[in-house]
Amino acid sequence: MCGIVGAIAERNVTPILLEGLRRLEYRGYDSAGIVTRDGRDGQLHRLRTVGKVQMLADGLRQEPVRGSLGIAHTRWATHGEPCERNAHPHLSNDSVAVVHNGIIENHQELRQELSAAGYRFESETDTEVVAHLIEQRMRETGDLRVAVQQAITRLTGAYSLGVICRADPDRLIAARAGSPLVLGIGIEEHFIASDVFALAPVTQTFVFLEEGDIAEVQREQFVIYDRAGQPVERPLSYAAQQGGPAGKGGYRHFMLKEIFEQPAVVAETLEGRIHQGHLLEDSFGSEAGALFDQVQGVHIVACGTSYHAGLVARYWLESLGVPCMVEVASEYRYRRGVTPPGTLFVSISQSGETADTLAALREAKERGYLSTLAICNVAESSLVRESALILLTRAGREIGVASTKAFTTQLVALRLLALMLGRRYGLSESNVAVLARDLELLPKALEEALLLDNAIERLAEHFAEKHHALFLGRGPQYPIAMEGALKLKEISYIHAEAYPAGELKHGPLALVDADMPVVCVLPKDDLLEKVLSNLQEVRARGGVLFLFADREVDTHLSGVDTHVLSLGAVPESIAPIVFTVPLQLLAYHAAVLKGTDVDQPRNLAKSVTVE
């Protein structure tokens, strides 16, 4: 969601800014823009376009914008429709330029105040008030950093800001509160970005701004000030993952590539954490063992797909005797919860910058939890840096907005956590070893599931003209059904809902007819016969079934209204992870048939950095 890039150098920074925006495309956006200060005439020159970054690149060829100081942005609309006047950067009196990630909650109040002071608004965005506010303070102080510092004291909400000024060719100002921002360190040139990947071609050395920080960035140096306006030192970091832009590797879409990467990334996530049936507890941190000994319960908080992973983990943890609560992060802060003694707070996020999840973590630190654990895919993220314990999922960069490999690696991490805690709740070492070996079989099981790709592509033809679908599951497969429904609606725009199969009679059965595909996962487990009984209810109402079953399962169902695809024999302990794959492929092929933008579906963003 939204991307920021900024640079100050001796050379023309426009190519750096443009490449940075290209590298941030995975986050989701609807418009892009750039502004530079041209040393030849001392003016700010801006170009904004609606649509992809390539549209901006095409525009720059027709209308070149150049300079040694500049900022650029990809916008995901919050306030105001996607259009050129609402695109960033925003200017105030052709003097101050601002790019902004986040939401200014008191923008309406500030807009009225600034309008009364004579400022003219050209956009519907909350960001334009920031540009005018800084310009107003700049007139009074004559110092850009001081102007920004004074302006942000008036802001309520979340923001990361990049600011340049026509009258100040030697400084780029950055500020953050609630939205990530990083400095890139070069040789006589410096950069800012909302993601280290944006700056991979120009630097491997970074400084992560902390809450309330303001950075004064110049060619030769930078100074960081804390919330109180005092100079502070922040540690240097070195990006673990660099290299060129991610490629599709011969696949039609990034999403398909990432689905097929799952056996490899799951193996990577397990490496060094499990060996020949033995759990390596120190992989959670050297202090993890002593802390796990004190855990009396787990509270998982996450959003979207990560929330579904947490729901699966609840089944796993409770089956091993570990009390567990799971909650949507956006709701966590707004209810008065009770924190039982000895509760471990677990936050899950692919990006580690999800605004609601980060806010929940910060709130949790005030609520008396035993400790905090982050399950995340980005080592440099805020969630990782602010949590006591960390388990990285090692999925690699995920470009497709609809999460696939990040989800399955989250499930692997949560399964490891369940086993770590389960052994403290009476799970014998021999049983731990059996369940750990099941995890070691997982990459191979995922490879076998991927062999269904061609068959699922044919199956997806039944969904191309549908408008609704129903997904069913029981036990830990119910959250997998929820995830399958989410994937289908995210990328194919087919309305899909998930229910526990036992809830059919309590409402959803009224929707079932020949035009409502019903998708169900059927592992071999204790609930199998009950699910099959539920499916008979669907057939009796004229419903059409699409079943993904363990090969050892006899569904007793056949006919033109029933489509069955068999996976391999899957151990029950890892079945939720394996049965995720065919649902991902079904969503993917249905979306391709419908001609949607698979990797960047409408209205969605990869990293949701606003509440």
Task: Show which residues are catalytic.
Answer: 2, 606
Q: Tokens in use for 504? A: 């059919």
Cα separations (Å) of 572 from 150, 316, 552, 569? 58, 11, 12, 9
- Residue 335: phi, psi to the nearest 5? -135, 155
> How far is the C-alpha of 426 from the C-alpha of 432, rounded, in Å?
10
* Omega cis (within 30) before 89: yes
Cβ within 8 Å of residue 230, ≥6 positions away: none
User: Please, what sign has the CA dihedral across residues 403, 27, 270, 267?
Assistant: positive
Tokens 């509440």 locate to 611
What DSSP state is assigned to residue 606?
S
Cβ within 8 Å of residue 31, ≥6 positions away: 48, 49, 50, 51, 74, 75, 77, 82, 83, 84, 86, 87, 88
> How far is the C-alpha of 582 from the C-alpha of 285, rounded, in Å?
34
Q: How many CB atoms lie within 10 A of CB 449?
A: 26
**Strands 297-302, 343-349: parallel, antiparallel or unpaired by DSSP?**
parallel
Residues in the chain: 611
Query: 2 in helix, strand or coil?
Result: coil
> How far is the C-alpha of 410 from the C-alpha of 164, rounded, in Å?
40
